[in-house]
Each structure stands twice: as C-alpha cells, then as structure tokens.
Structure 1
Amino acid sequence: MYGLITTFVRARLLTVLRPDKYVRILSVIRREGMSATTGFAIAAVRCPQRPGLIDELGALTWRQLDQRCDAFAAAVQAQGGGPPKTIGIMARNHRGFVEALVAANRVGANVLLCNTSFAGPALAEVVNRERVDTVVYDEEFTPTVDRALAERPDARRIIAWTDDPDSHQVTVEKMIAAHRGQRPWPPMRTGKLILLTSGTTGTPKGARHSGGGLRDVEAILNRTPWRAEETNVVAAPMFHAWGFGQLVLSAMMACTVVTRRKFDPEVTLDLIDRYRATGLAVVPMMFDRIMELPDDVRTRYSGRSLRFAATSGSRMRPDVVIAFMDQFGDVIYNNYNATEAGMIATATPADLRAAPDTAGRPAEGTEIRILDSDFTELAPGEVGGIYVRNSTQFDGYTSGATKDFHQGFMSSGDVGYLDEAGLLFVVGRDDEMIVSGGENVYPIEVERVLATHPAVDEVSVIGVDDERYGQHLVAFVVLAESATASSDVLKQHVRDALANYKVPREITVLAELPRSSTGKILRAELQARVSTADSG
C-alpha cells in the first residue's frame, strides 16, 4: 500500500484538496462505483473549471462535460421502450463519443465500442451477437449502420456527430439541449464494457471487462511519467482498447484531453506545441506518418513540452523509433497490451535505445512465462508462447469462450522470447507461424530483413498453403518514393541474411498495405489477394 500511495503522490494524483471536495468525490464514488468512467465525474469535482476536452468544436471544462454527460444520460432514460441494455458506439474521437460512453455507464447499459472501419456485414454480425439495442454513431457511418440494422428496425439510432446542425435527425447535441440541467436516476444494474479484439485475421470477438483497479493504474504510472492536471493529445482511436485506456486514465488524472476526429501528422505536432502537451497517445503507424513529413515541416514544431509519447497496438519500425527520439527527445514508451490481458509490458526510452524492437519489461504486478507446446518454461532467447498472469485479465468473451490458461497464466496469443536482461521480444502471433518443409518460420523475421532494404518502405509477410511443402511465404511490399527493386533482388536480400526456406516464394508490390484504424495490417485481406490470384 505504501508503494501505491508513493506512486500516486509522485504523479500528483493524490494531492491536497478542500475538505468539501473529498466529501463530493466520495459521493460520486457511491453513486457511480469505481467504473472505467468514474474519473470524469471526479475530475469535475477536483478541477471543474479546467478544460477537460478540446476537439474541433472547442473546449469543454470538466464541469461542462460532466453536466452534458448527465443530460445525455437523462435523455436516454426518457426515451420510450425502457432503458437500453447495450449501447453500441461507432464514432471517431470527439465529445459525442465521450458523452455517449460516460452516459451509458450512468444508465447502467453495457457499452460496445465499434471499429469505425467496419463494413455493414461486419457491424451487423457484431451488433446482433452482442444484442445491441441502441447505436450512437457519426453521420458519415449512416450507410453502414443502415445496412447493419436492416433487420433491426426497433434499434434506437442517435447521431453523435453531424456536419449539418439543422438536421432533423436525433442527435446527441439535441438530446443534451432538451435535458440540460437534468441528471439520470440511479440505474438498476451495472453495465459492462465490451472491447472488440482486432479482428485482423477474422471476425472481432467481444471481450467483456468489469474495469481495472488501482493496481492497474499504479503499473502505468510506475513506468510512464504521467502527471495529474496536465495536457494529453490523444490521437489513437478511442474505440480501441489502447485509445480508450488513454482517455479514461486522462480523466482519472484530470488531464485535459486534446483530440481530433481524424489523424493528421502535422496537425498533431501543432496541437502538442499549441497546448504545451506533456503526453501523446498514438498507434505506431502515426509515428511513421509524422516522420514521413518533409524535414522543413517537422522542424517547425519543437515537441519540447512532451514528457512521453505512448504507443501500443502493433509493431513499431525500429528506424522510426530512433529517428523520432533523435528529433523530439527520448519520450517514446512502447506498451505491449492485449484486449484480453490489459497491459503486459512497457519499453522505456532507455530500453528502446538499447533494442528498438523490444516490447519492454513486464508491467508492475505482471508475470510473463515463455512456454513450449508442452507448457515447459523456456530459457532466455528461446521462442515460445507468451503467457501472462496479472490482475487486468478480462472476464471472458461474450460468446462464453475464453483464452487458453496454464497454472493461472493466460496465453496472449503471441509468440516471443525473453532475453538475458529480461526484455520481452514479440516474434508474432501464434497463428502466424508456418511450417514450410518441416521448418518453423515466423513471418516477422522475414519482414524485419526485407524492411532493411533501402527500396522498401513497408512490408508484410504471410503464409499460404502449399501442396508440396505444407506452407510457403508470400511477401507484400510498399516501395519507398521513387525507388525500384525487382522481386529477384528482394529475394536475394532475404537469402543473404536468412536460410533458403525463409525466402518468400512471391513478392508483390502494392501502393499501400491494407490497415485497420489502429494501424494493424489486415492479413485476412492479403490472404484474400493470394486466394483470388490462385483461383484466377
């Protein structure tokens, strides 16, 4: 307990307040419980006049944001048909997303966070599986929502963002205006948060969470230099577990959240300097886009206020990690998370300087084991399944399924190894490893070699079925601007570094790799390209 208090004091999360504020904070906790969104109401008590959220529409203080969340919650309860049981949110980063999220908790509804990249069939499958009865969405996604709800005419629809304020549709803004000054009545139940897995190789699964505890927050604050009542630019999508976590932790710390609906690398740098942000939350692809800006554009912005630039969600390019820190300082913190397990490991700037591709060291309160197929613990440097034991594990998939466990350790679904210094390295997904001619091959190993070729900007390698060898590798590359390289040249580059059985059978040049909103490469789409080519 002493360590927990020390951590919270260092981060200024625990500080001296007026006695009446302590009383009101306790009242908030009694009313809302310690849910993921309780921090929004606490921030409104702690520093009501401090900006809580800044988006394209301007700034809202913590008090204003809290009152708007109350008004929207009251409006939702006033709708006919009884209180919603599950609210699906399909919105970009803006106040409407936040208000829907917080209000859902205040009415006791489950919350399903939907990927803004969903097509109609994928969204239909998810909302039907999770029994969504209310959808809050940005107007731009209307065709997708209409298609998904074609057989659900009873589902309530609420527009979170519209570019037409005079629209006759039901919107979050209109509902707030109609119920301004009202508060929701206490709910009869406590809702759950449903986060979707990435779904890069199949249909996303719903992972049900009851919410983390103070130890989870301690683990983050011990490794990343957060400070209460500062400013964070949250560019990572808030519907994803990583962006969501950065949003709710910012609220808990009463940190101003600066965000924009769509990521723009130069705008992000401008927001950091303009608001003197000390924190930045991104996905790795956003570092790539920032460093792809022309030198004369990047150097207009100092980023001097940044204390940390935290990232998670996919693999980082080692060259980009070093280049970003060379320009903006040693501020990158790489977090290895899983929707099912929460935070697993964090790499500090010092770790990344030593090994830019590391996932870091186990988070506070987390144990990591590397196990083989017989659940034997492997020695440093040996590759096996990554198994995790911590307090942030999920409650199970909404389908009733769960992950594989061994002696209390949950499979992360990834394979990797620990080095002699205790640093974790993720080699790839356990379902990405292929067996080619009896040899185990990890696509990421080949990706790393191809990425070192000067003509290659981005690369993804997948395994496909092979009648003779069982499986073989296929590579997809995006070439650097004005660069040229033949398939034979790239294959020889791999052959010079790796065994012959690791050389891709085919290498295809693409204009861009298919990616999700969080920057993860959609391998299912690449597999479909191969299947289509084979059938042709």
Structure 2
Amino acid sequence: MPTDLPFVVATLIRRGLLAPGPPVRVAAQLNALRKWGFSLAGELRQAAARDPGRVAVVDQDGRETSYADLLDRAERLARGLRSVAGVRAGDRVGVLGRNHPGLIETMVATTLLGADAVLVNTGLSAGQLVTVAGEQRLRVLVHDTEFTDRTLGLPAEVRRIDERQHAELVAGAGRAPRPGGRRAIPGGLRPPPRDGRTIVLTSGTTGAPKGAQRRNPTGFGPLVSIIDPIPLHVRNRIMIAAPLFHTWGYAALQVSFALRATIVLHRRFDPAGTLAALVAHRCDALFAVPVMLQRLLEVPPPHPRPPLRVVAVSGSALPGGLANTFMDAYGDVVYNLYGSTEVSWASIATPADLRAHPTTAGRPPHGTRLAILDDEGRPVPTGQVGRIFVGNGMLFEGYTSGAGRASHDGLLDTGDLGRIDGDGRLFVDGRADDMIVSGGENVFPAEVEDLIARLPEVREVAVLGVPDDEYGQRLAAFLSLHPDRTLDADAVRDHVRHHLARFSVPRDVIFVSHLPRNATGKVLARELRSHYD
C-alpha cells in the first residue's frame, strides 16, 4: 500500500468526497475516472455522473448550467470542432476569452478530443497573438467576440471561431431524450488515443510569453495537496475571479470540478460586482489574485457580508500587511499559495501563518519537497537566502519550444530567491534576476517594496533596479497613492532608511496614477523602466 494512501483517504473523507451516495451514480462516477482519468474532461464527467442536476456554473447574468448540461454542451462543441474544424488528437486549440461558461466548454471540448488547449492571455496585443499562434502551431483559435479585431492578422491556416460560431457548433448536435422524457447523461465520445494537455502561457512580464506544458493529474494526490491545508469541501459555492487562462484560475477550475462545486463567474473583475455576487450566491470561497483583495478593500463592505470561509490567492506577491488588513475586515480566511506555472505549487500560507508572519509564503503541502540551494546546488543553512527548488507531482513537462528549467535531484528551479526559518516557513525575497548589486551590496527590491506598501498613504508600489553610472544599479520606487492622500519622496526615503540599510533606500521615488499590470495583476516592470529610456 502506498505510504501516503491513508493520508489521501483521510483528507478525502474530511472534505466530503468519500461520502456515500446512490450506488448507480457512485459506480458511474468511478467509471468516468477510470476511462477518462483526472483530466479536465474526466473531472467534469465524474461530477456529471455523480451530481448531474447540480448547478455547475452561474454566469454574470445569473444563468445556471447544470453539470449534465455543461458536459452535454462540451461534447457537442467537441463534435463540432472535429467535424467542422478538423480538430484531432494532438492538435492545438487556442482559447482566448474572459471568465464565462463558454470558455470552460472550449477547454473541456479540446480535452475530450485529445487535443491540447493553449490558454491565451487576454492582454496580448495583435502582434503577440500572431507570434503565439505561430510558436504554438495553433490549428484553431476559439475567441470571445471582443477580441475579433486582434485576430485579423492571424495566418489563414488558423481557423477562427468566435462566440456566435461557438454557439452554432454547440447547437449543431442535439441530445436524444431517454424514454419517458428523462435526458441522458451525454455520451458518444470515446477516450482519445492520447491525453489532451493544457498549455499555459507564462506571464511575459519581462519578455515574450512561453508555452508551459501542464501534465494531467494521475490520481487524487494533487487535489489533496491543495484541500488539506485549504478547507474546501464537496459542493461548495466558489467564485473564481482569477482569470481562467492563468495557472491559478485554471487550478481553481480543476479543484471545483473535483469537488462538484458550483462555480460563479464574471467576465471581468469588478470589486463592487464581485462582493454583490459573493453575497447573492452565498459563496463559501473566492479564488483571486492579490491585487483583487486590495481593490475589494477599497469599496464599502456589503451588509450582510459574504459567508466566505476561504479566500485563496496566488499569482503574484502578497503585499505586506494586505492579508491581515483583509482578514480584519472579512475574518481569518486568507490562504496564500506560492508557486509558478512551471512548478504549480511550492507552499501554502494559512491564516495562522499570515497572522504570525504577514510576508511568509507558508509551508510546503503534503507531497511537496522544498529546498533552498546555493549556486553549486548545496543546501544553505536555515535563515540564509538561496535559490528556491521545488518537487511535487505536478511539475510542468517543459516549454513547448523544447527548453526546460534548471533542476537538481528531481527538484525544479523556481527562479526565485528565498529562505526558510526555524519553523519551516518559506519567505520569498524575489526573482533571482530582480536582485540588484548597488555599490557592491546585494539588494532585494521586494523587501523594500513590502516596507513601503505598509505606509497608509500608499495604494500600490513597485520597486525595481535601474542603471546607475556610479553604483552600477540603484533602486527606483513607483508609488500610487490612495485618493485624497499625500506623501512626498523624502518621507518615503526616511521610512525605508529607518527600517533598512542605507543601500536599500530608493534614490528615485516616482509618483504615478496607477501601476501598469497585465491581466493577471502582475506589474509590468518593462513599462516602468521605460521612464529611463
């Protein structure tokens, strides 16, 4: 018996996934997983087999789609993509859209055919989209209508399918009723000769986005790694505000299907609209990126407040003090997952972790190995900074270009620097390529950024290194202030000087109306550096 099987079983029981049910449905659920595995299609099939009438998705207009109907629509779309666009196993289908049920249908339909879904960032320009289509060898691009103009430059061999054509493909194949008027669980598609993969594009904040091939889970282990520290339960109501094309939003979708949850989606994140939806749909959980928590705190809290038990964030650094400020308003519900497109997850910070150490990334969950190594691959002492290496069952399979990442003893390099304290908590100091050397001293911009973020006048801040003729590099701080608040550059420098060494004081303090961010909330450093071009 695998050594971790008792832990996996105990966690599944604790989260309600092994609760008894109608024998016929339980058998159909297990059979779906046996035939289709733990891919997105397999997870949707098991949910539709066990809870066919349960609401799977609620869209921005309040329209509800059951698990049986969602699978039916995905199967119809799969047949349409195969017959009309010629999609076969091994092809690549680009998916460009906001958070809505049609995006999920396309992801699942692609997987049902054994094709690879390439999740395209909605922030890409027309030129970047052409580059991605070529590099990823897209056969088809399924896109929201709002992006039509951006797709006009694609080569003719890339078939474009917009929302209207998507609807026509879904409507093109009906589902025959069973005798007596009861509708059958959708069928008619067999498991493909190869498993479809999901290709997630890296954020591209410092260069062109790369396609990272994500592996499909082979069992319950990856799910348990998430739901053991994060108390999500079967049939929760979960709002996914993080973009579904991003690793974190996609992970939220996988977890939601596994839990047979009801998923609430809005096409775009709007703080007031999100809070209203959390209340209206009685959401237990919210998946978001950190900047969304900042925005939620800027609008008056609703009454009554949403019944949230989990606010799970990932995708970028959690600014200093944000977690505790949010928990002061909404309860101890924030869980921060540190990871990347390449390593999936590395550590998870619970509310207790964040209350004790607001900047911690937490501890590695079950089945994850974490090591802090020096440049020669040797472990560094507790508390010292080194390169963060991670091992788990969901490390990516490499970039579509054929390139990989540095690894050591089965652990993958995250590209970040960090340290582990005496209690086993991880602290991330920032990207290895963000660290600057100023006057011979190593400086981590993230540490300075976190400190400045604690000033009450500061709405958001980014600190980065810029060229300096005398010192080689120097720090520049870009700040956006809260409305009706004032702050001068000397006060910012004095604040940093009081808490950190002199070489950490930013020489440049630049006030801006807002920080440029991509669709996943990450600051676009290259746009800030354009101030120095």
The TM-score normalised by the length of structure 1 is: 0.93
Q: In the alignment, does 2:150 pair up with 1:177?
A: no
Q: Name the CA shift for 1:52/1:156 in 2 (closer, same or farther; >3 Å).
A: same
1:326 is matched with which residue? 328
2:27 is matched with which residue? 23
Q: 2:159 aligns with which of 156, 160, 179?
A: 156
2:515 is matched with which residue? 513
Does the CA-based 8 Å contact 2:240-2:252 persist in structure 1? yes
* Equivalent-residue separation in structure 2 for 1:225 and 1:291 (angstroms): 23
| Residue identity opposite 2:207 in structure 1 | G
* Equivalent-residue separation in structure 2 for 1:183 and 1:263 (angstroms): 37
2:309 is matched with which residue? 307
* Equivalent-residue separation in structure 2 for 1:463 and 1:135 (angstroms): 38
Q: Name the CA shift for 1:185/1:389 in 2 (closer, same or farther; >3 Å).
A: closer
Does the CA-based 8 Å contact 1:35-1:211 persist in structure 2? yes
The TM-score normalised by the length of structure 2 is: 0.93
Does the CA-based 8 Å contact 1:283-1:314 persist in structure 2? yes
* Equivalent-residue separation in structure 2 for 1:32 and 1:396 (angstroms): 23
- What aligned pairs does 1:487-498 form with structure 2 within 5 A after superposition? 487-498=489-500
1:465 is matched with which residue? 467
* Equivalent-residue separation in structure 2 for 1:234 and 1:299 (angstroms): 19
Q: In the alignment, does 2:42 pair up with 1:3?
A: no
1:481 is matched with which residue? 483
2:269 is matched with which residue? 263
Does the CA-based 8 Å contact 1:210-1:394 persist in structure 2? yes
- What aligned pairs does 1:99-498 form with structure 2 within 5 A after superposition? 99-147=105-153, 149=154, 152-160=155-163, 170-181=164-175, 183-184=188-189, 186-213=191-218, 214-293=220-299, 297-303=300-306, 305-498=307-500
Gaps of 5+ in 2: 176-186
Tell me how far 1:500 sits from its aligned partner: 2.1
Tell me how far 1:60 sits from its aligned partner: 0.4
* Equivalent-residue separation in structure 1 for 2:498 and 2:316 (angstroms): 27
1:164 is matched with which residue? none
| Residue identity opposite 2:39 in structure 1 | S
Tell me how far 1:322 sits from its aligned partner: 1.4
Tell me how far 1:187 sits from its aligned partner: 3.2
Tell me how far 1:270 sits from its aligned partner: 1.8
| Residue identity opposite 1:145 in structure 2 | T
Q: 1:12 aligns with which of 1, 16, 19?
A: 16
Does the CA-based 8 Å contact 2:321-2:454 persist in structure 1? no
| Residue identity opposite 2:303 in structure 1 | R
1:67 is matched with which residue? 72
Tell me how far 1:185 sits from its aligned partner: 5.4
* Equivalent-residue separation in structure 2 for 1:66 and 1:454 (angstroms): 48
Does the CA-based 8 Å contact 2:315-2:520 persist in structure 1? yes
| Residue identity opposite 1:526 in structure 2 | L
Does the CA-based 8 Å contact 1:25-1:45 persist in structure 2? yes
Tell me how far 1:527 sits from its aligned partner: 1.8
Tell me how far 1:472 sits from its aligned partner: 1.3
Classify the secondary structure of the residue corresponding to 1:8.
helix
Tell me how far 1:486 sits from its aligned partner: 2.6
Q: Name the CA shift for 1:24/1:432 in 2 (closer, same or farther; >3 Å).
A: same
Does the CA-based 8 Å contact 2:372-2:385 persist in structure 1? yes
- Deviations, residues 271-307 of structure 1 (Å, cap 9, x unaligned): 22222211111111111011011xxx3142412x222
- Deviations, residues 254-281 of structure 1 (Å, cap 9, x unaligned): 0000111011112222222222211111
Gaps of 5+ in 1: 161-169, 532-536
- Deviations, residues 207-237 of structure 1 (Å, cap 9, x unaligned): 1122124211111111011110121111111
Q: Name the CA shift for 1:82/1:268 in 2 (closer, same or farther; >3 Å).
A: closer
* Equivalent-residue separation in structure 2 for 1:319 and 1:404 (angstroms): 33
| Residue identity opposite 2:162 in structure 1 | I
| Residue identity opposite 2:160 in structure 1 | R
* Equivalent-residue separation in structure 2 for 1:450 and 1:388 (angstroms): 30
| Residue identity opposite 1:208 in structure 2 | Q
Classify the secondary structure of the residue corresponding to 1:290.
helix
Comparing 126-135 with 209-218, which one deviates more in the overlay? 209-218
Q: Name the CA shift for 1:34/1:255 in 2 (closer, same or farther; >3 Å).
A: same
- Deviations, residues 158-192 of structure 1 (Å, cap 9, x unaligned): 113xxxxxxxxx52112111112274455343221
Classify the secondary structure of the residue corresponding to 1:271.
helix
* Equivalent-residue separation in structure 2 for 1:494 and 1:436 (angstroms): 16
Tell me how far 1:323 sits from its aligned partner: 2.0
Tell me how far 1:368 sits from its aligned partner: 1.1
Does the CA-based 8 Å contact 2:438-2:472 persist in structure 1? yes
1:48 is matched with which residue? 52
- Deviations, residues 304-343 of structure 1 (Å, cap 9, x unaligned): x222111101112333211221221111111112111111
Classify the secondary structure of the residue corresponding to 1:37.
helix
Does the CA-based 8 Å contact 1:291-1:320 persist in structure 2? no
Classify the secondary structure of the residue corresponding to 1:298.
coil
* Equivalent-residue separation in structure 2 for 1:65 and 1:503 (angstroms): 54
Identical-residue share of aligned pairs (%):
38
* Equivalent-residue separation in structure 2 for 1:18 and 1:324 (angstroms): 41
Tell me how far 1:494 sits from its aligned partner: 2.1
* Equivalent-residue separation in structure 1 for 2:384 and 2:34 (angstroms): 49
- Deviations, residues 5-59 of structure 1 (Å, cap 9, x unaligned): 1111111111212222233224423542331331111111111111010002400
Aligned length in residues? 515
Classify the secondary structure of the residue corresponding to 1:223.
coil
Q: Name the CA shift for 1:453/1:23 in 2 (closer, same or farther; >3 Å).
A: closer
- Deviations, residues 332-373 of structure 1 (Å, cap 9, x unaligned): 111112111111111111111111111101111111111122
Does the CA-based 8 Å contact 2:87-2:139 persist in structure 1? no
* Equivalent-residue separation in structure 1 for 2:43 and 2:196 (angstroms): 16
| Residue identity opposite 2:426 in structure 1 | L
Classify the secondary structure of the residue corresponding to 2:327.
helix
* Equivalent-residue separation in structure 1 for 2:171 and 2:375 (angstroms): 58
Classify the secondary structure of the residue corresponding to 2:437.
strand
